[in-house]
Each structure stands twice: as C-alpha cells, then as structure tokens.
C-alpha cells in the first residue's frame, strides 16, 4: 500500500528532524520551517496529513489552519506546546477543523516524540483516513472601529509627546523585529497590533525585549506610553491609546471582532488619530486583508504622517495595498528604511 504523505510544519529543526526519523518507516515525510514554505510545497505535492505547530514566524499555525480548511481542506494534526488538551488553543484548533491535537512538552521534545512513536503513528494514520470538510466563516456583520470607539475629532496639544503606531499581520513578526531592533533607547513610544492568537504575544514581546535597546512588553491595562517603550497588543484584546493631559496610556478591551480581528489595527489607529493627531506617525506593514486601511486614513486626516511597506519587501501585500487604495498612505517605503523614516 502507498505510504501516507505527511508534511511536518514546525520552526524547530529538532522537531522536524525527530519527526522525520520517527515516521520514515511508515510514512512519506516532508518538512517545512514555516507555513509560507509549507504552502509552496503543498502546491507541488498535496499531503495526506499536515502536522502543524501553532507558534511560528511569518504566519501562526491557527491562521494557516484556517487557510487550509477554507481553500483546500485536508487532515491537520496540531502538535504544539501551546495546545495542551482542554486548553483554549487546543479547542480553537479543533473548532477551526483540526482532526486531533498532540501536546508537545516545553523540554525534551526529541525524547517525547521517540517515546510517543506508537501514539503519534496511530494518530497520523487515523487522520489520513478521516474526512474533512471546508470550514466556512459564519455569516456575521462585518464591524468597523465604530463598534469599539466612536468617531470623534482629534484633541491634540502641540507640546504632547510623539507616538508611533504600527499594524501588521502575515509576515509581520519578522518585519516588526527588524524595525524594533533598529530603534534607539530613547525612541518615541510605539504601539503595535500584530495579528496573533492569545498567549503568543507575550512570548513574542519577551523575545524582542531581549534583543532590542528599547523595552518591549505585552501591553497591560493602563500601561503608560513613554519614550523607549514598545507595547504590543495582547492576542484577543483590542488596544486603544488614551490621554490624560499630556500623558498617554493604553486601554484594553474585549468587544466584538473589528475588520475580522481582535486586536484590530483599525481600532488602534482610530484611537491614535483621536488622542495624538499630528503628534503621531502610523505605519501599515505586511499582512492579508484590509484591517488598518480605514484607521490609517483617519490618522492622516488628523495630521499624522503615514507610511506603508512596499510590495517588494512584503510577505503579503494586502493590508498596505488597501491602505494605499483608500488614500491613507503618505509614503511607501521598503522595510529596510522603515525604522529610520519612522524616527
């Protein structure tokens, strides 16, 4: 009988190697370091099963799972340290169409895979025989930033501090890393919305904090926006810029999805337009969809400088393209020159 073809998508070389060694006797195995590489390989050879990590660069696993299930459904088994059985991440993955979940330990992954070889093999064989169906988005009203923050004219004081606001999605983790690691210690306060699942933004911020000259942290309710600090919106929460006199701080809230996302770039950008006006600079980076396009136009109308990442340096030229089309972009720049221009 033909051996099932398995594609292992994980940014850990140790995990890819361990799976290859484990599965080679009973499966045809291919590996990819991230979803964008996996996508290219899937176009050449359609796998019978995809083994998918959740926390990866350029595109997270849940986003890739959604893409698979809505375009070309096939069996997906989640294998991730973020997906313990019964956890929110595991339940969300199953709701999005994954057929099973394997929880990876934080340490000793190679040994875990070897010791669990029978279980993993049985799970993948069962997955290869499962029937999967296209997952369709529920028909719901598409909401704008009005659902979170009503439209209002900006109230700006000339002596207020400068603010940088950045929105990104697919491919944004690497783009943000390049920008943030280039910032000097006294850079203006920066607010970031990166489309990532809940639980991943804290680890992302911690990693950037260790490699940057500015402080980088996942935003908490009431955090002050000051020079030398980058605040990243927590997954599954909207982040808004607020103002008390000359002091800026952030407000977090749940609320409905805006532009199909929570956190939403549109929500952040509108709040920045209202609280900072011409004292802000806005940037829209690589990403799929149009979140941020309307908000960036509001920032520009309020006097802010606005920048979009150019197509050549984008992983996905969706969000910048929409922002340009709606007239919200003052300049289009390659990623390489973005940090200097923001400053």
Active site residues: 169, 195, 291
DSSP state of 146: G
Q: Which residue has the tokens 């060694």?
A: 21
Strand ranges inside the chain, DSSP E: 5-9, 28-32, 49-52, 76-80, 100-103, 163-168, 189-194, 215-218, 229-232, 238-244, 247-253, 280-284, 305-309, 331-333
Rounded (5°) CA angle 13-180-331 = 115
CB atoms within 10 A of CB 286: 27
Pairing status of strand 229-232 against strand 238-244:
unpaired
End-to-end CA distance of the chain: 61
- Kindly state the tokens that stand for 3: 């051996």
Strand ranges inside 86-143, DSSP E: 100-103
Residues in contact with 42: Cβ distance below 8 Å, sequence separation at least 6, in sequence order:
7, 50, 72
- Give the chain's length: 343
**115: burial class by Cβ within 10 Å (0-12, 13-18, 19+)?**
exposed
């Amino acid at each position: 009988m033909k051996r099932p073809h398995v594609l292992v998508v994980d940014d850990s070389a140790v995990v890819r190697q361990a799976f290859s060694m484990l599965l080679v006797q009973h499966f045809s195995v291919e590996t990819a370091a991230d979803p964008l590489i996996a996508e290219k390989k899937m176009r050449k050879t359609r796998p019978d099963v995809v083994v998918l990590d959740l926390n990866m660069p350029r595109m997270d696993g849940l986003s890739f799972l959604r893409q698979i299930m809505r375009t070309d459904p096939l069996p997906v088994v989640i294998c991730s340290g973020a997906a313990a059985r019964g956890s929110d991440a595991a339940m969300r993955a199953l709701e999005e169409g994954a057929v099973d979940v394997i929880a990876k330990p934080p340490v000793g992954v190679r040994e875990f895979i070897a010791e669990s070889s029978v279980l993993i093999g049985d799970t993948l064989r069962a997955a290869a025989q499962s029937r999967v169906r296209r997952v369709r988005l529920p028909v719901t009203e598409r909401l704008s930033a009005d659902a979170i923050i009503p439209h209002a004219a900006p109230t700006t004081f000339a002596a207020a501090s400068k603010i940088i606001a950045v929105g990104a999605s697919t491919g944004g983790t690497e783009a943000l890393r390049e920008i943030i690691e280039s910032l000097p210690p006294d850079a203006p306060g920066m607010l970031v919305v990166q489309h990532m699942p809940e639980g991943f933004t804290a680890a992302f911020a911690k990693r950037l904090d260790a490699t940057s000259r500015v402080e980088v942290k996942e935003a908490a309710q009431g955090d002050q926006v000051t020079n030398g600090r980058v605040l990243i919106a927590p997954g599954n929460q909207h982040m808004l810029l607020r103002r008390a006199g000359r002091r800026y701080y952030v407000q977090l809230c749940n609320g409905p999805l805006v532009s199909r996302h929570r956190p939403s770039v549109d929500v952040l950008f509108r709040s920045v337009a209202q609280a900072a006006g011409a004292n802000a600079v806005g940037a829209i980076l690589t990403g799929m969809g149009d979140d941020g396009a309307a908000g960036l136009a509001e920032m520009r109308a309020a006097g802010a400088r606005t920048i979009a990442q150019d197509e050549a340096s984008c992983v996905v030229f969706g969000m910048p393209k929409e922002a340009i089309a709606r007239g919200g972009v003052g300049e289009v720049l390659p990623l390489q020159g973005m940090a200097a221009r923001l400053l």
